[in-house]
C-alpha cells in the first residue's frame, strides 16, 4: 500500500470517527448520563460491535467525547484570557466562558461529570465515568496554571504557586458551576461577579511579567 492510499484511508477513518462522535453527541444531548452504547450505535446506524471497533468500549468513547469537548472549552478559555481587555474583565470573561459552556449543554456536562444521575444501561456494566472525569479537571488545572505563569509575575516559587492557583481556580469554577447549574440561585452574571470578587486579592496586586502579554 503506497503513502497516498494510507493517507486516504486515514482521512476516511478520521471522518468516520467524527461522524460517530457527532452521533454520540446527539444521544448525550437527548439522554444525558443515561446515554448507552446501544442508543449511540442506533443513532449512528451501525451495530454495537462496530462502535466497539472504533472506540474499544464505553470508556474509550467517553474519553474521545471528553477530549472533544475539553479541547473546545480550553480553546474558548484561552481566547477569553488573551482578549484585549483589563485583567478584571478577562477574569470575568474566563469565568463566564466556562459557565456559559455548561449552561448551553447541561446534558453533556452531566454525562461527563454525573453519570450516577442516569440508570446504568444494560451492557454498560463496569463503566466508571468517575475515574475518567477527574483527569479532565486536572488537565484544565494544568492548562490554566501555564497561562497564569506566563502572564503573572508571582516572584519566587512562581511555577508551584501558578499550579496551586490553576487547580484551585478550576476547582472553584467546577464546584460553583455544578451547584449553580443544579439550583440556579442567581443569574450567571451575578455568579461571575461574585467569583471574580473572591479571586480579586493577591492576583489583582501581582505585577505582569516584563515583556509578556499580561493577564
Asked, for residue 118, whether it belongs to a domain, the answer is yes
Look over the chain and give the mean of its residue pLDDT values, rounded to a whole number.
84
Q: Provide Rg for the chain, Cα atoms.
A: 20
Asked, for residue 57, whether it belongs to a domain, the answer is yes
Number of domains in the chain: 1
Asked, for residue 171, whether it belongs to a domain, the answer is yes
Q: Which segment of 4-8, 14-18, 35-39, 158-162 scores lowest on mean pLDDT?
A: 4-8
Q: Cell digits for 117?
A: 444521575
Asked, for residue 213, whether it belongs to a domain, the answer is no
Asked, for residue 214, whether it belongs to a domain, the answer is no
Confidence of residue 41 (pLDDT cuts 50, 70, 90): very high
Asked, for residue 46, whether it belongs to a domain, the answer is yes
Confidence of residue 213 (pLDDT cuts 50, 70, 90): low
pLDDT computed for residue 202 by the predictor: 64
- CATH value at residue 60: 1.10.357.10
Asked, for residue 130, whether it belongs to a domain, the answer is yes
pTM of the model: 0.78
Task: Calculate mean pLDDT across residues 79-92.
Answer: 87
Q: Report the distance separating Cα 146 and Cα 150, nearest Å.
A: 6
Confidence of residue 112 (pLDDT cuts 50, 70, 90): confident
Asked, for residue 169, whether it belongs to a domain, the answer is yes
The three-state secondary structure class of 176 is helix
pLDDT computed for residue 2 by the predictor: 63
**Residue 35 CB contacts under 8 Å (≥ 6 apart), including other chains:** 24, 27, 28, 111, 118, 121
pLDDT computed for residue 64 by the predictor: 87
Domain extent at residue 40: 7-208
Tell me what percent of the residues of the chain surpass a pLDDT of 70: 85
Residue 212 has pLDDT above 80, yes or no: no
Q: What share of the chain is helix, strand, coil (3-state, %, to 5)?
A: 75, 0, 20
Q: Is the dihedral of CA 106, 107, 113, 119 positive or negative?
A: positive
pLDDT computed for residue 194 by the predictor: 93
Amino acid at each position: 500500500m503506497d503513502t497516498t492510499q494510507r493517507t486516504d484511508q486515514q482521512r476516511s477513518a478520521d471522518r468516520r470517527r467524527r461522524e460517530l462522535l457527532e452521533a454520540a453527541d446527539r444521544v448525550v444531548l437527548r439522554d444525558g448520563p443515561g446515554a448507552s452504547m446501544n442508543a449511540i450505535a442506533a443513532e449512528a446506524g451501525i451495530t454495537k460491535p462496530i462502535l466497539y471497533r472504533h472506540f474499544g468500549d464505553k470508556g474509550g468513547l467517553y474519553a474521545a467525547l471528553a477530549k472533544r469537548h475539553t479541547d473546545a472549552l480550553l480553546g474558548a478559555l484561552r481566547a477569553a484570557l488573551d482578549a484585549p481587555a483589563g485583567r478584571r474583565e478577562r477574569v470575568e470573561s474566563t469565568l463566564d466562558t466556562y459557565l456559559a459552556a455548561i449552561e448551553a449543554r447541561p446534558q453533556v456536562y452531566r454525562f461527563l461529570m454525573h453519570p450516577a444521575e442516569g440508570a446504568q444501561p444494560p451492557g454498560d456494566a463496569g463503566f466508571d465515568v468517575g475515574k475518567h472525569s477527574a483527569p479532565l479537571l486536572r488537565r484544565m488545572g494544568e492548562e490554566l496554571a501555564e497561562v497564569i505563569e506566563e502572564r503573572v509575575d508571582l516572584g519566587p516559587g512562581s511555577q508551584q504557586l501558578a499550579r496551586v492557583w490553576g487547580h484551585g481556580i478550576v476547582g472553584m469554577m467546577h464546584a460553583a458551576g455544578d451547584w449553580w447549574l443544579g439550583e440556579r440561585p442567581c443569574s450567571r452574571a451575578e455568579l461571575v461577579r461574585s467569583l471574580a470578587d473572591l479571586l480579586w486579592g493577591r492576583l489583582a496586586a501581582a505585577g505582569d511579567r516584563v515583556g509578556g502579554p499580561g493577564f
